[in-house]
Amino acid sequence: MGKRKVILDVDTGVDDAQAIMIALAAPNVEILGITCTHGNTGVENACKNTLRVLKTCNRLDIPVYRGCAEPLLARKRHAGDFHGKDGLGDAPDPDAPGLELLQKRKASQAIVKMVNQNPGEVVLVATAPLTNLAVAVQTNPHFHKNLKGLYIMGGNTESRGNTTVCGEFNFVADPEAAYVVLDRYTCPTYIATWEFSCRNSLPWSFCDTWLAQDTEKARFMEKIYSHTRKMVQTDRYQKELVSGPGFNSCDTYALAAAIDDDLLTESEEVAVTVELEGTHTRGMMVLDYLGLLKKKHKVVIMKKIDQEKFKQLLMNALK
């Protein structure tokens, strides 16, 4: 069998970096390109950070595209306190690659072109606000029919927020884009929500073992993850977690499910949408168990994974 063709749409903070490194280490994966957008940090930083990760893994041959710098309509927000102002833990690299390495084509155009050139073969993994994907489908309304699958890290199932009272960061950062994508994309769609990632968190002892590998990749990860780890181990953050303390690398769950069909052990199918109004609920994902939305397309909500397989993917990423 040929390699699985993957496009990554990222706002490269630390967890995106972890997801990218899992994909790079997987022998069955061919990354066609990486598209960047606003989110964890500004789009320029997201591009720089993506190039830094590729350089660390000796894979600067993979094309990187600059995407949207701001949401469709919402007020721009970043996660600088969480991932560091630069998105990678404020651990700069004076030898980092420059933005002259970016491709000229816009991210949304690149997504459409790569998918249409490989009909039925491409898996699109989105671990950022969905602005690039929304622009792609607005300008090319039918290209998503050529996608093999769409894997999203975002949204929530129990109105538990990590950014607003009821909102997960990626959806809150661009609610209109999330609405458009979940309304217009009719390919097989899988969603790794905030609560799902919390419930499938790994022990901190595993994180210690993971980072203790004697490799340049592990040392790079330890350096960029230090700021975020201190943040997530505070009492305030631990109270946000659904299932108690643990190592929750949010974006890696969507990526892992996209490249390993056997990773997901429990899921459910349901029609969904995104709330665009409401004082506390704007950006919240809504699950339609009553069928009131009359939507034919249902998404797969991830519930449980094979944690041993997941651990191995993470370990391989830093070898």
Q: What DSSP designation does 106 have? A: -
Q: Which are the contacts of 62, defined by CB distance < 8 A and separation ≥ 6? A: 31, 33, 34, 54
Look at the chain and report how many structural domains it folds into: 1
User: pTM for the full model?
Assistant: 0.96
Q: Which pLDDT belongs to residue 231? A: 79
CA distance 310 to 186: 27
CA distances from 176 to 282, 288, 309 (A): 10, 18, 35
pLDDT digits (tens, 9 = 90+) for 221-262: 999 999 888 877 776 666 666 656 689 999 999 999 999 999
| CB burial readout 168-198, b (16+ within 10 A) else e | bbbbbbbbbbbbbbbbbbebebbbbbbbbbb
Low pLDDT (below 70) residues in the chain: 1, 79-81, 235-245
CA distance 25 to 173: 30
| Catalytic sites, residue numbers | 11
pLDDT digits (tens, 9 = 90+) for 34-81: 999 999 999 999 999 999 999 999 999 999 999 999 999 988 887 656
Q: What DSSP designation does 162 have? A: S
Q: Which are the contacts of 27, defined by CB distance < 8 A and separation ≥ 6? A: none
Q: Which pLDDT belongs to residue 80? A: 58
Length of the chain (residues): 319
The answer to whether the beta carbons of residues 125 and 95 sit under 8 Å apart is: no
Q: Which pLDDT belongs to residue 2? A: 84
- CATH code of the domain containing 270: 3.90.245.10
Q: Which pLDDT belongs to residue 240? A: 61
Domain of 96, in residue numbers? 4-317
Q: Which pLDDT belongs to residue 94? A: 85
Helix pair angle (131-139, 107-117), 10° resolution: 60
Q: Which pLDDT belongs to residue 241? A: 62
37 alpha-carbon distance from chain centroid: 11
Q: Which are the contacts of 292, defined by CB distance < 8 A and separation ≥ 6? A: none
| DSSP strand pairing (264-274 vs 285-288) | antiparallel
CA distances from 70 to 61, 111, 181 (A): 27, 18, 16
Q: How many CB atoms lie within 10 A of CB 251?
A: 30
Q: Which pLDDT belongs to residue 114? A: 98
